[in-house]
């Protein structure tokens, strides 16, 4: 979308790279560029409720791969709180290049 976002924390970068592109875009727009769900929905041509659902559900989903390489997501509250804490910490020191 024309923004350059550098992520120096390896855990956050790994978590972001594991997400599907549309989910990753929502997380980056929300937590790194501080856009609300309405603004995200407008930029991604989504309904606001969809943007909200994807943002909140993404932080608690962990990808698992089966023997055939198919990805399955499961909810993990510990991962959610860890990632949210790290994201908030990084947001406080974030600088748009």
Q: Is the dihedral of CA 45, 50, 51, 55 positive or negative?
A: negative
b or e along 63-91 (b: 16 or more beta carbons within 10 Å of the residue's beta carbon)? Answer: eeeeeeeeeebeeeeeebeebeeebeeee
Better-predicted residue by pLDDT, 48 or 14: 48
| Cβ neighbours around 31 below 10 Å, total | 20
Residue with tokens 């791969």: 65
The pLDDT tens digits for 37-93 are 999 999 999 999 999 888 877 766 666 778 888 776 666 666 667 777 877 887 777
- The full set of domains in the chain, from first to last, is 10-91 (1.10.10.10)
pTM over 0.75: no
């Amino acid at each position: 979308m024309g923004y350059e976002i550098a992520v120096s924390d390896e855990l956050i970068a790994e978590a972001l790279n594991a997400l599907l592109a549309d989910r990753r875009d929502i997380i980056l727009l929300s937590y790194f560029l501080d856009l609300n769900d309405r603004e995200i929905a407008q930029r991604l041509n989504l309904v606001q409720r969809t943007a909200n659902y994807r943002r909140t559900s993404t932080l608690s989903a962990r990808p698992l791969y089966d023997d055939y390489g198919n990805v399955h997501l499961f909810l993990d509250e510990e991962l959610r709180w860890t990632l949210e804490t790290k994201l908030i910490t990084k947001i406080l020191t974030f600088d748009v290049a």
